[in-house]
Amino acid sequence: MDKAEAEHQIKKLVNELNSHNYNYYVKADPTISDYDFDMLLEKLSAMEKEYPELVLPDSPTQRVGGAITSEFNSFRHTYPMLSLSNTYSEGELRDFDERVRKIIDGEVEYICELKFDGLSISLTYENGLLVRALTRGDGESGDDVTTNVKTIRSIPLRLNGKGFPQSFEVRGEIILPRPGFEKMNQDRIEIGENPFANPRNAAAGSLKLQDSAEVARRPLDAYMYYALGDALTFETHQQSLKTISQWGFKISDHTALCKSINEVLSFIAKMAKDRDTLTFDIDGIVIKVNSLEQQQALGYTSKSPRWAIAYKYKAEQVATQLLSIDYQVGRTGVVTPVANLKPIQLAGTTVKRASLHNADIIAKLDVRIGDQVFVEKGGEIIPKIIGVDLSKRDMFAEQVTFIEKCPECGTKLERQEGEAANVCPNEDNCPPQIKGKLEHFIHRKAMNIDSLGEGKIEILFDNHLVKNISDLYNLTYDSILGLEKINKDSDSAKDKKLSFKEKTAENIINGIETSKKTPFEKVLFAIGIRYVGETVARKLAFHFKDIDAIISATNEELQEAENIGEKVAGSIFAYFRKPENLLTIENLKLAGLNMKIEKQPELASSTLVGKNIVVTGSFGSPKRRKELEELVIMNSAKLSGSVTSKTSFVVAGENMGPEKRQKALNLGIPVISEGEFIEMLG
Ligand code: IVH
């Protein structure tokens, strides 16, 4: 293909893919299968690799991230980002309406919109292309988060249609829909990281990540609600929303054009009921004067427009009785007090438990067993106790004394200077802490043993088969076949479910076997040394090259590696001074795990990220097959032993087993040759 033809093809593919993207992420109406989309994207990727000078700024390949931002530069907003005045009361809304009508003669129409509970973003488009995304910051200047924002599929990189000015801004809210938020928190808990308190914090945290490839994996979304620019010629706000929607932005359907404040109040009441059916959080309704001429006449105060107001929904509150307090030990040993409440309805769910966070909060609330307490559900998922109804306190109500010993292993709890948490220090023997280490070890970002999960780890642990990460490599098919879930609270036979059948046992053993190929930097992360997250593990691995060098490094030498300060170095140094940890490392080495860097990072790519690949059959020599398997891992895909519905494709050599081939055929999974695979990697 000559260059002119390549240019034409690339343009065509970019347009086609962008239009599928729009249908999927903005319209929620997919027009192509995920597989076909990926194939087109791969085709485009390959052509762009061949002709890097032809990569278009709106190419969907620009969304997958990869660029690292070490510092977010601050930029001045062309138009300041103001806030809205807030109210919680109907009376104040009526006052707002009166103020508006005093200034405006004649009819006034309002547009009601959702008040998205996310973080505001200002997008600048020039000649139809997204050129900059700024956070609100202090309203005058914000941080440049363009690279990260480009990963959000519902934000157009290039506008659709015509009629937009050469330069203008669109503002809206970046949100994290609840299902994605819950999944993200589950993943964090599994690797021992603190979950985010609510979707807003998670969205804000995501947007400020340095690695845009990681941002691309966060299920962020964006709704737009405001267009600004000297050359825009809209007459009403409603018209501006309709037009920016045609240009490719995502606009909420939940809006209402109201002719009176009473109609506004009905919409507020309707959404108060319907808000639970939305997939994302809102914290109120924004009411805006529809006519832009009237908006201009009303003008602004120094902080907010006089043509808009936000009605905020009150966090729902109820009173109920505190029955008792349980203490839960987390994976890092932190002990959290949890209140057991007399069950009560709150914001559509029955609440039975509420977090009391820590000893300081209990003392501050001076809460006692038997008290009537006020419970509130704000943006947080877990309700919290916000106060005590002292008028109802029983004179014999029992004071709460925080436990002194770990409820799981009996070890005396410790509390570090200046920290609020009470912690069980018995990290190697306390059951939830051991299970936490095992769950971290098997996590997708660590050894990636997805045939094991929280439940299966619990079964292996409760049956005394694994107590340490290296024990996983002593498991055999026979030792785990037929293992049962041990129900500690019941002896009844029906609670004893047979958990590990033939297929399960086989998958677990295969998964553990495959994990031996995990690269060293991930093994180092998987071991679970305190403060050694993914990035630190990578830096450490590439700096020292092998585990023995890390073990024998002094505290000062550890700090010579990039990103490693005193606290992290101290933790690593202490870890390798404990004989039981050295034994674990020795056992992992014996099991055949990678304990040194095999390839330089430049060779790695994220071309196959998210793919699940099976390499099967013979490829001339066992060495060649191993090389192909390594290519799978080096290019960020997962290598699997068996064909399942999760398999992305099979790389088949000669003599691929007929059963496997049939299974792939039945599931519609592509089977490709070695040559096609290499071509795919460019
Ligand atoms: S309009 C000049 N519309 O609420 C006013 N804001 O308290 C421009 N927000 O910073 C804002 N949903 O982040 C507007 N439908 C909506 C909104 C909305 C959420 C946020 C926005 C703003 C804050 C103001």
In 3D space, the residue among 578, 103, 555 whose CA is nearest the CA of residue 293 turns out to be 103
Tell me which architecture the domain covering 317-423 has in CATH: Beta Barrel (2.40)
Each residue's pLDDT tens digit, 224-283: 999 999 999 999 999 999 999 999 999 999 999 999 999 999 999 999 989 888 999 899
Q: Which residue's CA lies nearest to atom 21 of ligand 1?
A: 120
What distance in Å separates the CA atoms of residue 374 and residue 623, rounded to the nearest whole number?
66
Q: Which two tokens stand for residue 635?
A: 């290019």
Question: Domain 3-64 carries which CATH code?
Answer: 1.10.287.610
Name the residue of 112, 115, 300 to mutate for ligand 1: max ligand atoms within 8 A of Cβ. 115
pLDDT band at 17 (very low <50, low <70, confident <90, very high): very high
Q: Is the pLDDT of residue 175 over 80?
A: yes
The mean pLDDT of 108-130, rounded to a whole number, is: 96
Any idea where the domains of the chain sit in the sequence? 3-64, 76-307, 317-423, 431-517, 520-591, 612-680
CB distance 275 to 252 below 8 Å? no
Could you report the per-residue pLDDT of 304-362, keeping only the tens digit for each? 999 999 999 988 789 999 999 999 998 789 999 999 999 998 866 788 999 888 899 99
* Number of C-beta neighbours around residue 419 at 10 A: 11
Pick the CATH number of 612-680 from 3.40.50.10190, 3.40.710.10, 3.40.50.12280, 3.40.50.11240: 3.40.50.10190
d(CA 93, CA 485) in angstroms, rounded, equals 57
Confidence of residue 524 (pLDDT cuts 50, 70, 90): very high
**Long-range contacts: 502-505, Cβ < 8 Å, 24+?**
504/451, 504/456, 505/477, 505/480, 505/481
Tell me the mean pLDDT in the region 84-112.
Answer: 95
Quick: pLDDT tens for 567-597: 889 999 999 999 999 999 999 999 999 999 9
**What pLDDT, on a 0 to 100 scale, did the predictor assign at position 599?**
62
For 131-149, what is each residue's pLDDT tens digit?
999 999 989 999 999 999 9
State in Å: Cα 150 to ligand 1 middle.
21
Which H helix or E strand runs over 623?
A: helix 622-634
Rounded to whole angstroms, how far apart are CA atoms 27 and 461? Answer: 46
Q: Say which residue, 301 or 419, is predicted with more confidence.
A: 301
pLDDT tens profile 181-240? 988 888 776 665 677 878 898 999 899 888 888 898 899 999 999 999 999 999 999 999
**Predicted confidence (pLDDT) at residue 624 exceeds the cutoff of 80:** yes
| Mean pLDDT, the chain, integer | 90
pLDDT of 672 higher than 60: yes
d(Cα 4, Cα 11) in Å, to the nearest integer?
A: 11
Same fold, 431-517 and 520-591: yes
**CA distance to 99, 146, 242, 666, 680, per residue, from 343 (Å):** 45, 46, 46, 49, 57
Residue 379 has pLDDT above 90, yes or no: no
Share of the chain above pLDDT 90, in %: 63
Local confidence band at 6 (pLDDT 50, 70, 90 cut-offs): very high
The model carries a pTM of 0.65
List the structure tokens of 136.
């609100």
Q: Whose CA is nearest to atom 6 of ligand 1?
A: 115
Separation of alpha carbons 541 and 550, rounded Å? 8
Ligand 1 centroid to 514 CA: how many Å?
Answer: 49
* Residue to mutate, 87, 111, 120, 253, ligand 1, most ligand atoms under 8 Å from C-beta: 120
pLDDT at 492 over 50: no
Q: For 430-446, what is each residue's pLDDT tens digit?
A: 999 999 999 999 998 89
Tell me what pLDDT residue 69 has. Answer: 75
Is 76-307 assigned to CATH 3.40.190.80? no
Q: Domain 431-517's class?
A: mainly alpha
At 405 the pLDDT is: 97
**310 within ligand 1 shell (Cβ under 6 A):** yes
Report the CATH superfamily, name and number, of domain 520-591: 5' to 3' exonuclease, C-terminal subdomain (1.10.150.20)
